[in-house]
Amino acid sequence: MPTSLWHRLRKRIHLVCFFVFLALPFLNVVRFDIPRQRFYFFGAELWISEFGIIFFALMFLMFLIVISSIFFGRVYCSYLCPQMIFSEASMAVESWWKRRIAKKFPYWSPALRRRSARAMFYVTLAPGAVFLAFVFIAYFVEPVDLARRLFSLDAHTAGGIAGATVTLLTFADFAFLRLGFCKSVCPYGYLQGIMGDGNTLLVHYRDQTHECIECKKCVRVCPMEIDIRNGPFQIECVHCGECIDACDEVLARLKQPKPGLIHYAWGEKGELLTGAAAEPWYRRIGIRDAKRVVVILITAFYAAGLGVAFSMRHPVLVQISPERGQDLYRVGSDGQVYNRFRFAVANRRGRPSAVLFSLRFLPAAHLIIAVNPVGTKPGETSQGFFEIAQPAGSTPELVTHFEILASTIPDGAVDSFPMTFLAPGQGPAHSGPGSGTP
Domain map (residue ranges) of the chain? 5-300, 316-436
For 159, phi and psi rounded to 5 degrees? -65, -40
Q: Is 323 helix (H, G, I), strand (E, B) or coil?
A: coil
The neighbour count for residue 311, using CB atoms within 10 Å, is 7
pLDDT tens-digit readout, 120-178: 999 999 999 999 999 999 999 888 888 888 888 877 777 788 888 999 999 999 999 99
CA distance 224 to 78: 10
CA distance 276 to 6: 17
Q: Is 38 helix (H, G, I), strand (E, B) or coil?
A: strand
* Cα diameter, the chain: 110
pTM of full prediction above 0.85 = no
For the chain, which residues score pLDDT lower than 70?
1-3, 256-258, 275-277, 425-438
CA distance 163 to 157: 10
Could you say which DSSP state residue 326 is in?
A: S
**What's residue 277's pLDDT?**
65
**What's residue 11's pLDDT?**
94
Residue type at 332 in one-letter notation? G
> Which one, of 275, 295, 278, lies nearest residue 287 by Cα?
295
**What's residue 51's pLDDT?**
78
Could you say which DSSP state residue 313 is in?
A: -
CA distance 306 to 39: 14
CA distance 342 to 345: 10
Q: What is the pairing mode between strands 330-332 and 353-360?
A: unpaired
**What's residue 353's pLDDT?**
92
> Which one, of 187, 281, 269, lies nearest residue 235 by Cα?
187
**What's residue 38's pLDDT?**
83
pLDDT tens-digit readout, 318-333: 999 999 888 889 999 9
CA distance 335 to 428: 9
Interacting residues of 172 by C-beta distance below 8 A, sequence separation 6+: none
> Which one, of 157, 156, 185, lies nearest residue 169 by Cα?
185
255: left (phi over 0), alpha (psi -120 to 50) or beta: left
CA distance 113 to 235: 35
Check if the beta carbon of residue 279 is closer than 8 Å to that of residue 297.
Answer: no
Which CATH architecture best describes the domain 316-436? Sandwich (2.60)
> Which one, of 219, 239, 238, lies nearest residue 230 by Cα?
219
CA distance 211 to 112: 44
How far from the centroid of its chain's Cα atoms is residue 398's Cα? 53
For 370, phi and psi rounded to 5 degrees? -65, -45
CA distance 235 to 189: 6
**What's residue 425's pLDDT?**
63
CA distance 39 to 211: 55
Check if the beta carbon of residue 202 is closer than 8 Å to that of residue 234.
Answer: no
CA angle 301, 306, 307 (to 5 degrees): 100
Exposure string of 185-212, with b = 16+ CB inside 10 Å and e = fewer, is: ebebbeebeebbeebbbbbbbeeeeeeb
CA distance 329 to 392: 11
